[in-house]
């Protein structure tokens, strides 16, 4: 049992990657649409390149989108809205009439005349002036539980009350009482017919939903299209109908499990390719579970967002800013990995999106443009320029596909250009997204490195105040290391930042380091070699503690850990050896670890060369050449670069850069005569 737990602990990284692989595969398959995949690529306007196709089963012929929309528009135009008839309004008005009559009309024998007019008025129906009337001739009138269709011309507008009243009184030769009756009716009359919005909208929705989506049936064995025929017109409609029926027809019974199995195999195969790629070209990332998780999270997010867009409206798939993926991965890793993951994600999305060939072609081209154009994200204009180029590529490719499908640009959908512009605007979110990822996953981008390289930052200003000599040394190391990194293609920005911070631990005991001794007094003369060595060695641990206190990224702290590797504080070791021949050399060695990347190895070499160069007296080119060779060779002999992925050729190139830089630094000016 103990042995089993030991094996699990020893292989926990591998176990985690297997777990991540299983979870990612399951989640992506879950996000895929629950339908089969039509085995033919349907491309309108192009010749049918497959075998002649006959209906494999009976299926309905679907109406086109234009036909459906035309029918919907007809239903909307012919729809008769619903209005509610309020039976209680007339009784209430009659009561007001009886109470107010004597105040307006002085003849009691005319009271019944007014009642008859009100009764005829409300039997027809009164509607408010601001109430909308139906566009057609008829309207539905709801009285209690009964619905009848009435001519809207019989309904009286509240504003037409005066006209109807005067005509009624003229017919009865009571014109002298027009004013009195109008004042009375104008006060008490209220509408008894109102538009029933909820009922009308519900009825219209039901009518729209009842529109048949089919216009016929294709029987089994009926010819759909022959090889070489152009996919257009009725042939396209039949193929589209078969595609829709096919995707739902095969997702039944035992087919469900076979399709699910197929999806799992294909998605799993894609992720296996990702692991193989990382193992072949970026083993450092494969061995870092955080980075592997980061890559998988980005893939899953893109699949999730694209799936949502497809479910809402297939045309919105081009709003999803898929090019954020290579931008983010390039910011944290490199160009090759960014494009590989982008291409892999696009292939997975081919199972989700309509017109997968067009989508894959367009997104691969956009990914190439992204990789080739997006650089130096810390320069604000660069991202805007790149996004503009990406959007332009989308538009040009869309125009080309439209010409291929339609043969002209007459049927171009201008809305799609708006979608491409929205895609570009969404891609600009890459900048804040990079910042969020830095905080969530502890990664470092060039933008953060640029901020850290500012010598006016709090920590570097403190270093320049407390240890000015060390600060100047760090600047020199940064210049040497950056030039060397550019020469061998390493991350120059990371190298520069690592060099600037590699000696911050010297702030705690600045006076014990020669570059900060300005008075000629050396405090090491007052203490034992053993104590001096401990102070010198401790600047590494002090630097790590300071870096963590100021929240420096781990990638920068790595330079503090490794810039001395496991080398020896040789001066104090020799001094102690003179006093005690049994002195253990291990007590005078830095704790390490040794450099484990090209960048940390470069800073280690630059630090040793720059520090030792201060001891050169009247240097010449040959002295500098021998000096650099001696220091770097010593580091190689002691195995300091065994874990760093750096070649002998790169080390030779780095030494050449150091020699050239030091020659320029120590070059003496010609003395001009006065």
Supply 602's token pair: 């470069």
List C-alpha distances in Å: 216 to 61, 162, 241, 401.
5, 57, 11, 30
Contact 438, 294 (CB under 8 A): no
Gap between the Cα atoms of 303 and 270, Å rounded = 13
Kindly report the CATH class assigned to 448-665.
mainly alpha
pLDDT of residue 543: 92
Instruction: Count Cα atoms within 13 angstroms, Cβ side, for 4.
Output: 1
CA–CA gap between residue 627 and residue 630 (Å, rounded): 5
- Burial (0-12, 13-18, 19+ Cβ within 10 Å), 431: middle
Q: What is the pLDDT of residue 244?
A: 73
Residue bearing tokens 């009286």: 156
DSSP state of 61: E
Distance CA(81)–CA(197), nearest Å, equals 8
Strands 214-218 and 193-195, bridge-based pairing: unpaired
Question: DSSP H helical segments within 407-443, as ranges?
Answer: 415-427, 430-441
Side-chain half-sphere exposure of 417, counting CA atoms within 13 A: 8
Question: What does 471-508 look like in DSSP terms, one character per residue?
Answer: HHHHHHHHHHHHHHHHHHT--HHHHHHHHHHTTGGGGG
CA dihedral 640, 642, 643, 644 (to 10 degrees): 80
pLDDT on residue 476:
92
Query: 318, 331, 337: which is closest to 375 by C-alpha?
Result: 331
> What CA–CA distance (Å, rounded) separates 27 from 29?
5
Return d(Cα 278, Cα 338) in angstroms, integer.
12
Parallel, antiparallel, or unpaired for β 138-143 and 146-151? antiparallel
Report pLDDT for 199: 87
Q: Which two tokens stand for residue 29?
A: 């398959």
The parts of the chain modelled with pLDDT lower than 50 are 668-674
Question: Which parts of 127-228 fold into alpha helices (H)?
Answer: 161-171, 178-188, 197-209
* Cβ within 8 Å of residue 519, ≥6 positions away: none
Which pLDDT does position 525 carry in this prediction? 77
Q: What is the model's pLDDT at position 252?
A: 58
Burial class (CB in 10 A: 0-12, 13-18, 19+), 478: buried
Predicted local distance difference test score (pLDDT) of residue 560? 93
Give the rounded distance of the alpha carbon of 655 from its chain centre: 43
Virtual CA dihedral for 540, 543, 549, 555, nearest 10 degrees?
A: -80
pLDDT at 407: 66
Closest CA to 124 of 174, 179, 164: 164
Q: Hey, where are the domains in the chain?
A: 37-63+212-249, 76-208, 283-441, 448-665
């Amino acid at each position: 049992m103990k042995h089993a737990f030991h094996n699990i602990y020893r292989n926990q990284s591998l176990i985690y990657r297997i777990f991540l692989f299983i979870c990612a595969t399951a989640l992506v398959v879950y996000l895929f649409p629950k339908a089969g995949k039509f085995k033919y690529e349907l491309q309108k306007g192009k010749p049918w390149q497959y075998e002649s196709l006959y209906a494999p089963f009976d299926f309905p012929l679907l109406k086109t989108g234009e036909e459906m929309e035309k029918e919907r528009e007809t239903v909307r135009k012919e729809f008769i809205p619903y209005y509610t008839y309020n039976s209680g309004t007339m009784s209430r008005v009659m009561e007001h009439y009886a109470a107010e009559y004597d105040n307006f009309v002085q003849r009691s024998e005319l009271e019944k005349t007014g009642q008859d007019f009100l009764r005829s008025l409300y039997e027809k129906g009164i509607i408010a002036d601001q109430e909308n009337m139906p566009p057609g001739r008829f309207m539905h009138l709801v009285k209690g539980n009964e619905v009848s269709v009435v001519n809207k011309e019989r309904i009286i507008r509240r504003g037409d009350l005066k006209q109807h009243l005067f005509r009624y009184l003229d017919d009865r030769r009571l014109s002298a009482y027009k004013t009195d009756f109008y004042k009375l009716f104008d006060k008490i009359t209220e509408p008894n017919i109102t538009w029933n919005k909820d009922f009308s909208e519900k009825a219209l929705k039901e009518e729209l939903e009842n529109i048949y989506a089919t216009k016929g049936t294709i029987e089994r064995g009926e010819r759909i299209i022959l090889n070489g025929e152009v996919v257009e017109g009725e042939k396209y409609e039949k193929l589209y109908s078969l595609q829709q029926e096919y995707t739902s027809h095969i997702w039944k019974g035992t087919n469900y499990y076979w399709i699910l199995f197929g999806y799992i195999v294909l998605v799993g195969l894609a992720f296996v390719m990702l692991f193989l790629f990382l193992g072949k070209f970026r083993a450092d990332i494969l061995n870092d579970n955080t980075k592997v998780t980061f890559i998988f999270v980005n893939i899953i997010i893109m699949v999730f967002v694209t799936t949502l867009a497809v479910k809402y409206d297939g045309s919105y798939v081009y709003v999803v800013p898929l090019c954020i993926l290579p931008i983010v991965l390039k910011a944290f890793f490199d160009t090759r990995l960014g494009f590989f993951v982008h291409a892999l994600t696009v292939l997975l999305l081919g199972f989700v999106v309509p017109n997968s060939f067009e989508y894959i072609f367009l997104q691969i081209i956009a990914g190439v443009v992204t990789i080739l154009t997006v650089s130096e994200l810390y320069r604000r204009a660069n991202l805007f320029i790149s996004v503009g180029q990406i959007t332009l590529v989308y538009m040009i490719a869309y125009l080309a596909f439209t010409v291929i499908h339609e043969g002209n640009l007459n049927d171009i959908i201008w809305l799609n250009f708006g979608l491409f512009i929205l895609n570009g605007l969404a891609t600009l979110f890459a900048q804040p997204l990079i910042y969020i990822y830095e905080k969530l996953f502890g990664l470092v981008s060039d933008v953060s490195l640029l901020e850290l390289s500012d010598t006016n930052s709090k920590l570097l200003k403190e270093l320049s105040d407390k240890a000015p000599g060390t600060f100047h040394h760090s600047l020199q190391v940064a210049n040497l290391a950056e030039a060397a990194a550019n020469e061998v293609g390493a991350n120059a920005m990371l190298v520069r930042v690592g060099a600037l911070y590699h000696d911050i631990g010297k702030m705690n005991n600045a006076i014990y380091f020669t570059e900060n001794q300005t008075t000629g007094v050396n405090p090491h003369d007052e203490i034992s070699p053993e104590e001096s060595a401990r102070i010198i060695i401790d600047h590494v641990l002090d630097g790590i503690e300071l870096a963590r206190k100021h929240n420096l990224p781990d990638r920068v702290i790595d330079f503090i850990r490794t810039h001395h590797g496991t080398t020896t504080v040789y001066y104090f070791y020799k001094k102690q050896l003179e006093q005690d021949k049994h002195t253990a050399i291990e007590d005078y060695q830095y704790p390490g670890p040794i450099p484990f990347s090209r960048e940390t190895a470069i800073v280690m070499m630059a630090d040793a060369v720059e520090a030792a160069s201060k001891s050169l007296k009247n240097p010449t080119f040959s002295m500098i050449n021998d000096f650099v060779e001696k220091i770097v060779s010593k580091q190689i002999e002691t195995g300091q670069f065994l874990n760093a992925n750096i070649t002998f050729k790169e080390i030779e190139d780095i030494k050449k850069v150091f020699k050239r830089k030091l020659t320029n630094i120590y070059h003496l000016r010609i003395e001009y005569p006065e």
